[in-house]
Structure 1
Amino acid sequence: MDTSSESGLPEADNNSGQDELAADISAGNNADIRMPSGTDDPLSDAEIQKYREEINKMDRIILDAVKRRTKVSQAVGKTRMGSGGTRLVHTREISILNQFRDELGEEGPAIASALLRMGRGKLG
C-alpha cells in the first residue's frame, strides 16, 4: 500500500519511524550518516535510497512542524492584539532571526523570516 502524497512525501498520519527520526534530529544524532570522502568512496545505490527515504520523512516532520508553528503563532498574535497589544514583538523576532542565523548560517534568517511571516502575516 502506497502511503505517499502526490509530492512523494509520506502522508502526515504515517508515523513509521518518524518518532525515532524526530528523536535523532532533536538529539543532533548524525553519527550514522556516511559522508563520502571523494569519487573513490561514493554512496551505494542502497545508501542513496535509504537517505532519500530519510529525507522524505524529515520533510514530512518539517512540514507538520511549520503548520503547527504557524497556527500557534497566529493564536498568540490574536490574543496579543485582542488585549490591546501589537501584532508582533520586535525583540522576539530579532532573537528568532539571530538564532536561525547562528544555527543555520547565512540562509537561516531567510527561513526564519518565512516562518515569522506565516505566523503573523506580511508587514507594511
Structure 2
Amino acid sequence: MTALDITGAKTAEAADVITGARERIDALDDRIIGLIQERVAVSAVVQDARIASGGRRVNLSREMEILAHYSEALGKPGTALAMTLLELCRGRI
C-alpha cells in the first residue's frame, strides 16, 4: 500500500503533507492523553481532600465553572468535551 493509498491524497506532495501532519496529530494526541491522565490524578487529590474534610466528593458549582470555561473556549463541542473530562475525573458517583 502506498502513501497515496493510505492518505487518500491524489499527489505525492499532498501525501507527504498529510503524513507529516498525521505524525504531529499522533504526537499531540499522546500529549493530550497524558494531560488527561494527569488531570484525573490531580482531581483525585482534590476529591480526597474534600472528603477528608467532611465535604462531598463532587462540587457541582465548580463543575459548572469548568463547563462554562470549555463552552466559552470551544462552543457546544467544548461542553461535551468538558462533560467527558468531568466523568473521567469523578470516577463512579
TM range (shorter): 0.7 to 0.9
Q: What is the aligned counterpart of 1:113 among 46, 64, 83?
A: 83
Say what the alpha-carbon RMSD is for the aligned residues. Answer: 1.3
The answer to whether 1:90 aligns with 2:67 is: no
Structure 1 gap ranges (5+):
1-42
* Equivalenced residues, count: 81
**Which residue is 1:16 aligned to?**
none
Q: C-alpha offsets along residues 22-53 of structure 1, whole Å, 9 cap, x if unaligned?
A: xxxxxxxxxxxxxxxxxxxxx71111111000
Aligned pairs (5 A) from 1:1-124: 44-123=14-93
Amino acid at match of 2:69: Q
The separation in 1 between residues aligned to 2:79 and 2:52, in whole angstroms, is 29
SS at match of 1:57: helix
Structure whose residues are more often helix by fraction? 2
Task: State the alpha-carbon separation in 2 of the partners of residues 92 and 111 from structure 1.
Answer: 16
Q: In the alignment, what sits opposite 1:5?
A: none
Displacement of 1:122 = 4.1
Q: Give 5+ residue unaligned stretches, structure 2.
A: 1-12
Q: Distance in 2 between matches of 1:67 and 1:119?
A: 9
Would you identify which runs of 4 or more consecutive aligned residues in structure 1 move more than 3 Å?
Answer: none
CA distance in 2, matches of 1:106, 1:115: 15
**Who wins on radius of gyration, i.e. which is larger?**
2
How much has 1:121 moved relative to structure 2?
2.2
